[in-house]
Amino acid sequence: MMRLRMYVARFGAEILALVFGIALTFDRLLGLPGAESSLLVGALFSPIVGIAVALDGRVPKKLGLISASLLRGALLFSLVIAPLYAHSLFEPFCGPRDAALFLSFGALPGFLLAALLGVFARVYLKQRAFRIAFVLALTLGSIVLGVLEFLWTPGIAIYGEFGGYLPGTFYETGRKFPPEFLSYRLGSLFFGLALLGGIGLKLTPSRKVEMGLLLGIGLVGYGIVRVNAVELDHATSVKKIDEALGGIAVSERCRLHYPRELRPDLRALHLDECERFIAHVEALLGLEARREPIDVFLYRSSNEKRRLMGAGQIQLAKPWRSEVHLVIDRFPHPVLAHELAHVLGAEISTGLFGVPGALFGIIPNAGLIEGFAVALAFNEALELDPHQASRALLELNRLPPLRDLTSLSFVRHPSSNAYAAAGSFLRFVLEREGAEKLKTIYRQSSLAPLGRSVAEIEEAFHRFLREIELPEGALELAAARFSRPSVFHASCPHETAQLRAQLGSDRAAGDLDAMLETAETILAVEPADLTARLARVRALALSGAKAKAQNAHDELMALNYPAPIVARSFLTLGDAAWLRAERDEAEAYFREALELPMSEDERRNLQLRLYAMERGGEIESAIRTLFLGEDGRGADSITVMNLSRKLDEAGEISLGAYLAARQLYFREAYRDALERLEQGGGALPTPEFERERIRMLLHCLVALGELDRARVLSAQYEGNPSFSRVLAAFRHRLTD
């Protein structure tokens, strides 16, 4: 027993490192080498490394104290990481290069610096308690500095000496190793030199000049790198972002930071949309009027956004700073209202970050945070609004349990499922219990104000959902929409996201060989990936491999994918046949697809194909070129405008005007689009086309500020069930 205790005392850190690494393997995301595991290992285990070295009473015989301590730091790193690499032999593991980079520049330098801290404490401090306090002060202090940077700046991605790289949000898939991490670690190298110099002053008094010089170089170099953090993209500031964007516009409730080239009319629209939504929520929840405007940053692209504030794909808010960060989009911005709701929630929450959660919001209640935003920015214009989506999820047995919607388990569910369910539930609370009850729940981060058990509340919510009417095909649409797994359960989420982006580039370039190769690469990791399955069918069909394309389609059918996915596959086979001038085969595929549930946009495009085939001649040729071009890629906007004129000349005046209007509409040329949409010439091919025409008309009128005309048009269709979603998209602007 004595010997066992001796071994535990001597090798306790090594045993703990191995156990910690093994424990991580029970989680699919953290249990593999990568950015997330590197961050967790570096942040949590570096203090243990430093303490282990600081308290080590052994005197190395052959190796110097510094060398032995650094080797021990490397050994502890290896013991933590070894189980992760062993786990990767049994789980899909992608991106080994990026994983190695994150570990090599993340946790490993953190362990080595912690080991040097331990040596420094060991040679300067006699009391064991003081050594421990010193190591904890610097390692945990580094984390505190990172938290303060997260609090005080617009940045979402944070660098630290010991944790390495905090990406800000785990929902940001497709993440790559940031090149600025290299220059950040240059500062860490100078920090290490400073520690070596300080240790050398104590251990080798005869070399004070050399050690003092090393200490000085280390401190000066470290200071230069860290002082220039903003210029080196290690940190950010509002000033830096404003210099890059170039434009600021201010209203009573909003301060818009926008690209300098943004048209004045579009800038005014975004600012007005922000102003209106805040006023709407203030009235809905009984909030006091804001004294300071909310800062809304609109970036040109996800790459610019990632460079300037750390997150590229994810649109986000920093409620405690009253900031919203978005990639610019067409008016009305699809997620502006959602992110503004997060900021407005900070006026209710008492949490440190302006959000509900445990320990004053330090451990956020993600379900309440996201549900609150979805409930306030409730979008009835979606194919399935949050209530309908939740009803469908309930029928599909995929609705997250209510207890998960108000706990850390929220993030374990696919984000699309969890957001819709949480938003539907809190909207249910708002509609049934009122704004004060919703605010109390948000403030207390608890469902206790409802005065019932979670089971009773959930039962009432489910009864409410079962009363929600679902449109035809809703279950199939929901099955397709909510099919992607959570980032915590997906295989290689970052790498597959990068590959999906590559797949989009391959398709845009018309490179069918590359598309097929990329699709096969994705399927090797995630065999059920919908995007890759459809891309495989498309690449084979358009390349002329008719039999292989049919086999790929049959495989997709055999896997029981949701009907809308099968419909897209039929459509792809039909397009390939149409390009080969095999009209009968193409029409058969199109009609099979038309029998299946799909989104209204997809149905309208399919109807137009069949309409073109019925008309034949120049009309069919023009519409086939519109969808497929010469090689399956479709026509660009200039070609579409020319094709619309050809349709005019062929007698399809309304259809030609409609197609031209859509191009102008998507370019945000609202005045020109309005003129085309109001052009007569006969009926459009199907009611779906007329519904889309009215939607675009309303959008253009609202964007142009012609609200009275928009109200008159809206009144003509009020009460018509087939136009309910169309009118819902603009109701808040026409009734305020």
Tens digits of per-residue pLDDT, 606-621? 999 999 999 999 999 9
Residue 668: strand, helix, or coil: coil
Band (pLDDT 50/70/90 cuts) for residue 259 is: very high
Residues 345 and 459 in one domain: yes
Q: Is the pLDDT of residue 594 over 90?
A: yes
- Could you identify the residue written with the tokens 């697809």? 593
d(CA 222, CA 725): 58
222-258 per-position pLDDT tens digit: 999 999 999 999 999 999 999 999 999 999 999 999 9
Contact (CB, 8 A) for 231 and 238: no
Residues 244 and 153 in one domain: no
Taken in order 147, 151, 156, 157, the sign of the CA dihedral is negative
Q: Which of these three, 432, 459, 477, is where a domain ends?
A: 477
CATH number of the CATH domain containing 429: 3.40.30.160
- Tell me whether residue 214 is in a domain: no
Helix axes 493-509, 512-525, angle to 10 degrees: 160
Q: Domain limits at 671?
A: 665-736
Q: Which of these three, 138, 162, 178, is where a domain ends?
A: 178
Contact (CB, 8 A) for 102 and 178: no
Contact (CB, 8 A) for 245 and 258: yes
d(CA 342, CA 377): 10
**Which pLDDT belongs to residue 476?**
84
Q: How far is CA 87 from CA 346, 528, 580, 640, in A?
A: 41, 22, 49, 52
Residues 166 and 243 in one domain: no
Report phi then psi at 533, rounded to 5: -60, -45
DSSP per residue over 197-241, as a string?
HHHHHHH-GGGHHHHHHHHHHHHHHHHHHHHTTTTTTSS--HHHH
Residues in Cβ contact with 230 at an 8 Å cutoff, skipping those fewer than 6 apart: 236, 237, 240
Residues in Cβ contact with 442 at an 8 Å cutoff, skipping those fewer than 6 apart: 345, 348, 349, 356, 368, 372
d(CA 166, CA 106): 10
Band (pLDDT 50/70/90 cuts) for residue 462 is: very high
**Which pLDDT belongs to residue 173?**
62
Residues 272 and 173 in one domain: no
- Tell me whether residue 534 is in a domain: no
Contact (CB, 8 A) for 18 and 83: yes
- Tell me whether residue 83 is in a domain: yes
DSSP H stretches of helix in 25-127? 35-55, 65-87, 96-105, 107-124
Residues 363 and 255 in one domain: yes
User: Residue 536 has which token pair?
Assistant: 């495989």
Helix (H) or strand (E) holding 444: helix 435-444
Residues 440 and 291 in one domain: yes
Residues 296 and 393 in one domain: yes
Q: Is the pLDDT of residue 169 over 80?
A: no
Helix (H) or strand (E) holding 683: none
Q: Is the pLDDT of residue 63 over 60?
A: no
Residues 332 and 461 in one domain: yes
620-660 per-position pLDDT tens digit: 999 999 888 887 777 788 888 888 888 888 888 899 999 99
**Which pLDDT belongs to residue 101?**
92
395-429 per-position pLDDT tens digit: 989 999 999 888 878 878 888 889 999 999 999 99
Report CA 167 to chain centroid distance, whole Å: 12
Read off the pLDDT of each residue in 15-20 and give the average, rounded to a whole number.
Answer: 92
d(CA 444, CA 448): 8
Q: How far is CA 386 from CA 285, 299, 355, 401, 725, in A?
A: 20, 28, 22, 16, 13
- Tell me whether residue 189 is in a domain: no
> Which of 356-365, 384-393, 560-569 is predicted with the least confidence, judged by mean pLDDT?
356-365
Residues 461 and 333 in one domain: yes
Q: Is the pLDDT of residue 585 over 80?
A: yes
Contact (CB, 8 A) for 522 and 496: yes
Residues 164 and 246 in one domain: no
User: Residue 231 has which token pair?
Assistant: 């210029």
Q: What is the pTM of this model?
A: 0.89
Residues 142 and 243 in one domain: no
- Tell me whether residue 564 is in a domain: no
Instruction: Select from 69, 145, 153 the least CA-distant residue to 111.
Output: 69
Per DSSP, which regions of 205-340 are E strands? 246-250, 254-259, 294-299, 316-318, 323-327
Residues 328 and 244 in one domain: yes
**Which pLDDT belongs to residue 426?**
96
Q: Do the bridges between strand 294-299 and strand 254-259 make them parallel or antiparallel, or are there none, so unpaired?
A: parallel
Helix (H) or strand (E) holding 497: helix 493-509
- Tell me whether residue 24 is in a domain: yes
266-286 per-position pLDDT tens digit: 999 999 999 999 999 999 999
Give the CA-trace dihedral at 657, 662, 668, 672, to 10 degrees: 0
d(CA 197, CA 185): 18
What's the total number of domains in the chain?
3
**Which pLDDT belongs to residue 679?**
83
Q: Which of these three, 453, 477, 501, is where a domain ends?
A: 477
Band (pLDDT 50/70/90 cuts) for residue 525 is: confident
Q: How far is CA 646 from CA 539, 640, 659, in A?
A: 30, 10, 11
- Tell me whether residue 220 is in a domain: no
300-352 per-position pLDDT tens digit: 999 899 999 988 888 999 999 999 999 999 999 999 999 999 999 999 998 88
- Tell me whether residue 97 is in a domain: yes
Instruction: Select from 581, 632, 626 the least CA-distant residue to 604.
Output: 626
d(CA 647, CA 663): 15
* Amino acid letter, 98: D
Instruction: Select from 724, 473, 735, 485 the least CA-distant residue to 595.
Output: 473
Q: Is the pLDDT of residue 521 over 70?
A: yes
- Could you identify the residue written with the tokens 């808040």? 732
Average pLDDT of every residue of the chain: 89
